[in-house]
Amino acid sequence: MKNQAFNPYLPSWEFIPDGEPYVFGNRVYVYGSHDLFNGCVFCMGDYMGWSAPVDDLSDWRCEGVIYPRTGDPVNADGRMCLYAPDVTRGPDGRYYLYYVYDKVGFVSVAVSDTPAGGFRFYGYVRDRQGRRLGDRPGDEPQFDPGVLTEGERTYLYTGFCGRGDKSRHGAMCTVLGPDMLTIEEEPVICVPGCEYEAGTGFEGHAYFEAASIRKRGEVYYFVYSSTVMHELCYATARDPRGPFTYGGVIVSNCDLGIGGYKPADKPVAFGGNNHGSIVEINGQWYVFYHRQTNGHWFSRQGCAEPISFDEAGRIAQAEITSCGLNGGPLRGEGRYPAHIACHLFTPEPVLYAGDPALPRITRDSRDNCAEESYIAGIQDGTVIGFKYFNCRGVRRITLECRAYFHGAFEIRSAWDGPALATIQAGSANGWERFSTEVDFPDGKQALYIVYKGSGTPQLRAVTLEI
């Protein structure tokens, strides 16, 4: 790669959650919803397109607005938000964008001649009588469409299932004809929701939202967000309509379930809802997901991690890192922005983001500004972690900090390990550099920074020197 790839993989000012990655030609495209910095609800922006060459996953290019919020006749006044979309290539070679607005229960479709857009409104998923799916008597509301086209049949997966709502049965699969709109086979429940999980094998990981579908070999992988929200799970079947069998967790945006370097039930980031999918790029499979930033749930950013399959096709849960698409650890020297920290937590475990008193990744400026993001709200005992670096002879570490505070930052190679060095630091009206000499271990290493002191320092960057 020309440059290194980080998590989040897009610029720090961009907020594209719900990522659906696809390889079209020699580029990987990610389709998602569009949050705003300091957004008051989910998905307030137009759909933006982003793509990268398959051989350089650090080189992301903005394709601009690929579909505006007002592109659909039902939202000409712009009062509704575009929720998570998906894209498929139809039998006619064109690209079809499936989406649902936040205040309706039917699926809209837009079309483009190229994967980069722009997309234009095409129609609504409907039956042969012209009635929209989701509007008919007995229909369950449509939500979070995922699509897969094989030949002249397109499989549409939808659904939202909250706890306590027995009217929502699970994820639905509907078969569409070659016009990409007309129902050929009515919806069937392919993965159960939490109110109907008993005895299914999905207990504790039932379908909540975020339907996505991929095929690997002869096996269909249904990727979804479970009722605990922070995890993406998968289920497999030999037929796209099911029955699907629960497979496991692919990724958790707070690393719950990952043991070894920590207890498996310990969250190391402030989690929240999750949405994404899997894709093969140049022979390597990845899971795309999102994380919460800015201290709430409405400014989410896309991340990705490599995944692996065993001989039976099972996916091992991926660990969240700072270097997901990089092809390996980051170089153990140079300046790194603080917003690529994959771990951020306090001594008292907190599972979900949303408390304004917690540390958070944030920024001073509004959307589309190149100014760097940083970590604010750091308090006594806060742990900030970066994984991983390929270290060779790191002898000095520098932190860029500001705000009213007085204390020390411990440098560690494990979140609960001994302090390898200590950086004494104090109040700074602007960004100032604080350094220490350190004998940091060589090899593939994590870097943890633990604050001990008073006040609430802010951290903008970390520099490793050899």
Question: So which residues are the catalytic ones?
Answer: 18, 209
User: Positive or negative CA dihedral for 415, 304, 33, 206?
Assistant: negative
Exposure string for 282-314, b = 16+ CB within 10 A, e = fewer:
eeebbbbbbbbbbbbbbbbbbbbbbbeeeeeee
366 is written with which tokens?
Answer: 């509004």
Neighbours of 350 (CB within 10 A): 17
Reduced to 3 states (helix: H, G, I; strand: E, B; else coil), residue 70 is helix
| 52 close to 319: Cβ distance less than 8 angstroms | no
| 204 close to 213: Cβ distance less than 8 angstroms | no
| 49 close to 27: Cβ distance less than 8 angstroms | no
**Look-up: residue for tokens 């949050």?**
35
Task: Compute the CA torsion angle 203, 204, 207, 210 (nearest 10 deg).
Answer: -150
User: What is the rounded distance in angstroms from the CA atom of residue 286 to the CA atom of residue 288?
Assistant: 6
395 is written with which tokens?
Answer: 């002898």
Task: Say which amino acid occupies 19.
Answer: G
Distances (CA, A) of 69 to 119, 298, 414: 11, 17, 45
User: Cβ neighbours of residue 396 under 8 Å, at least 6 residues apart?
Assistant: 435, 436, 437, 438, 464, 465
User: Cβ neighbours of residue 93 under 8 Å, at least 6 residues apart?
Assistant: none
SS3 content of the chain, % helix, strand, coil (to 5): 5, 45, 50
